[in-house]
Amino acid sequence: MLSDRSLTVDLGGPAAWVAVNDGGWGYYRVHYPTELAQRLTVAGRLDELERFNLVSDAWATALAGRSSLAEFLALVRPLGHEDDPDVWAAMLGPLHLVDRIAGDAHRPALQRRVRELVGPAFERLGWEPSPGEGDRTGTLRGHLLDALGNLAGDPDVVERARALHASYLDDRSSVDNDLVPALVRIVGRHGGEAEYTAFLERMRHPQTPQEETRYLFALAELPHRPLLRRTLELAMTEVRVQNGPFLLASALGNPAGGDLAWEFVEEHWGDLEDRFPHKMLPRIVEGVTAQVDADLAARIRAFLDTHPISGSEQLVEQSLERLDVNVAFRQREEPRLGETLA
């Protein structure tokens, strides 16, 4: 099949559906026609890796402009019964980019779509682990909770997440471990000064190294620019050198303050070069890949053109390419987003 530029395969007769990349082991993308892709979601014949590839490939083609966001949403809509956490991650991950371009005008419609997709699945699992459930069920529960609290902004979920997080701060054993990352993210995204203070205290006095890291990076996710500025300053002072670049990258991905974080990077570039190992500087730049604003993208590229990171040019260019892909996706989809989500 690789000997010619194209090849037609005769199936020998009509077929209700056909799956390319049987078993899911091939390292290539598959672009299915919309009708065929939708048949595959209901065929019930694909294993977990094949379903993951189906969703992942559908998103890749939408991101590349070879299909539309509407086609991707139509593909995942029937998959609410899915029980594999990796497939759900492939379904939900792209919606964070959609959330960035939705804005106040279209976010309620996106939140409704997420609740319709995720709500029934989370209700089946419940908040508490069931006796004898599989190890990966807890992972799935955490993915779904994160989506309901952050992407869907479900007020009941947010309220209960706050209560559970408060309980966790008092007694770590009171909450299932698989829920904790989602609880922290939900509380952070909907939090303010009080939550920031609590996160900072936990980061400074953790009970485990994992807890220190979790609350450290949660400081970069709160949707308040003055608090984000404090986090940026922490990255240059209190935070360990090995964690600082990754904290700055997280701040660059903050939907409410990515531009503020980039301004900080520009202003302190010389200090960053002095404080962090040279090979860590591209890790900071990786944070820009979450942005979607064309003006900010142009500013970032212009700065890096005049401040190259020697020896890491390819890594930086890869990050800028991903940024350009996001900007192009926004330019294509934003004008029709209301219709797509309706």
pLDDT tens for 301-339 read 999 999 999 999 999 999 999 999 999 999 999 999 999
Residue 12's region, left for phi above 0, alpha for psi from -120 to 50, else beta, is left
The mean pLDDT of the chain is: 95
Angle between helices 180-189 and 193-204 (to 10 degrees): 140
pLDDT in tens, 173-186: 999 999 999 999 99
- Is residue 236 scored above 80 in pLDDT? yes
State the pLDDT at residue 43: 75
Share of the chain above pLDDT 90, in %: 88
Residue among 109, 104, 98, 95 at smallest CA distance from 334: 98
Amino acid identity, position 238: E
Residue among 63, 140, 123, 136 at smallest CA distance from 96: 63
State the pLDDT at residue 42: 82
- Is residue 135 scored above 90 in pLDDT? no
How does residue 134 score in pLDDT terms, banded at 50, 70 and 90? Answer: confident
Q: Report whether 287 contacts 320 (CB < 8 A).
A: no
Q: How far is CA 232 from each of CA 16, 17, 93, 182, 310, rounded to the nearest angstrom? A: 55, 52, 26, 23, 24
How does residue 9 score in pLDDT terms, banded at 50, 70 and 90? Answer: confident
pLDDT in tens, 193-232: 999 999 999 999 999 999 999 999 999 999 999 999 999 9
pLDDT in tens, 25-82: 999 999 998 889 988 988 778 999 999 999 999 999 999 999 999 999 999 999 999 9
How does residue 132 score in pLDDT terms, banded at 50, 70 and 90? Answer: confident
Residue among 319, 318, 253, 304 at smallest CA distance from 99: 253
Model confidence, pTM: 0.92
Q: How far is CA 6 from each of CA 46, 196, 254, rounded to the nearest angstrom? A: 26, 56, 43
State the pLDDT at residue 67: 95
